[in-house]
Amino acid sequence: MKYNKLWTIGFLAYKHSGFNLLLLLAGLKKKMGQAFGCMQVDQSNVAITEQFGKFDDVLEPGCHCLPWCFGYQVAGELSLRVQQLDVRCETKTKDNVFVTVVASVQYRAMAEKAADAFYKLSNTKAQIQAYVFDVIRASVPKLHLDATFEQKNDIAKAVEDELEKAMSAYGFEIVQTLIVDIEPDINVKRAMNEINAAARMRVAANEKAEAEKILQIKRAEGEAESKYLSGLGIARQRQAIVDGLRDSVLAFSENVPGTSAKDVMDMVLVTQYFDTMKEIGASSKSSSVFIPHGPGAVRDIASQIRDGLLQGNSAQQ
């Protein structure tokens, strides 16, 4: 009957004054339970009991009888859940670069050492933070900046080993230690990015120059091959012309008695000369070419062409 009235009051308080009053009444119910010598320990928690101010026992989750009239009381509760503490530590590396190392420590109280965890430390987080500072500021100054990033797992292992050795005496277990971030100064970070960008640009420039070099080599090889083939074509063309002229001169000399090879060559050259003049005059897009066209000039041109062909033929032979 008494508890029903209490819950009725709690409902009215929640309706008119909010949920905070309901929580207050729930705490009042817990106090009333202790007044009758009973108490409840929640899951993942343990309760530390004392008798006349002296440690007595560690209560597991559940309902327990605690007769206050014999001097028993609850000193407090201790959570067995895994807790996390993020520690930011500023230090400098061996090459005098200031960095902020962020360490994440996951820890929990051990049930078998709950009394040590409850009585031996007044501020667990401050104690863990002090050990983290000590290990990080002893490890990072031995490393250069690049090595600090590369060996962050070794730093985390050193922090975890030191914490495990120190905190086990106080009833705490270190579940895991992580170095989650290493933050250099903003100016150092910008300089590192510029160095990386410059290195990549240098590599890109070298690759571009190498590609241009290959293109030029291939282009030169192509031009050399083209000129070589063109030279072979011109040589074959001249050889064919010489062979054709020789055959024509021999055939004409044999068929027309009394003519010499010189006479035949003069006639051929004059014929080619007039054919050339005809083609120049027939083409509308040809440029003007001024050459001597008198009979004496024709004889001079014939002599020059004949001498050039004979010299070229002699050189080939």
Of 28-42, 247-261, 264-278, the least confident: 28-42
Q: Confirm if 75 and 85 have CB atoms less than 8 A apart.
A: no
Q: Which of 1, 4, 64 is nearest to 36 (CA)?
A: 64
Instruction: Map out the domains of the chain as residue ranges.
Output: 29-80, 83-184, 186-277
Ramachandran angles phi, psi of 284, nearest 5°: -80, -20
> How far apart are the C-alpha atoms of 179 and 106, rounded to whole Å?
12
Residue 135: band (very low, low, confident or very high) from pLDDT cuts 50, 70, 90? very high
The CATH H-level (homologous superfamily) assignment of domain 83-184 is Band 7 domain (3.30.479.30)
Q: What's the chain's length in residues?
A: 317
Residue 128: band (very low, low, confident or very high) from pLDDT cuts 50, 70, 90? very high
Give the dihedral of Cα atoms 154, 160, 163, 166; nearest 10 deg.
Answer: -90
Q: Confirm if 79 and 171 have CB atoms less than 8 A apart.
A: no
**Section 299-309 average pLDDT:** 62
54-76 tens-digit pLDDT: 888 888 888 888 777 777 888 88
- Specify the DSSP element, H or E, that contains 37: none
Residues 6+ apart with CB under 8 A from 30: 39, 40
HSE-up (13 A, CA, CB side) for residue 75 = 18
Q: Which residue has the higher pLDDT, 125 or 308?
A: 125
* The pLDDT of residue 87: 93
Which token pair is 261? 């090879």
pTM exceeds 0.85, yes or no:
no
> How far apart are the C-alpha atoms of 140 and 87, rounded to whole Å?
15
Q: Which of 233, 223, 298, 232 is nearest to 267 (CA)?
A: 298
* The pLDDT of residue 5: 47
> How far apart are the C-alpha atoms of 160 and 158, rounded to whole Å?
5
**Section 215-226 average pLDDT:** 88
Q: Which residue has the higher pLDDT, 180 or 264?
A: 180
75-113 tens-digit pLDDT: 888 899 999 999 999 998 998 888 999 999 999 999 898
Mean pLDDT of the chain: 78
1-26 tens-digit pLDDT: 444 544 455 555 444 454 454 444 44
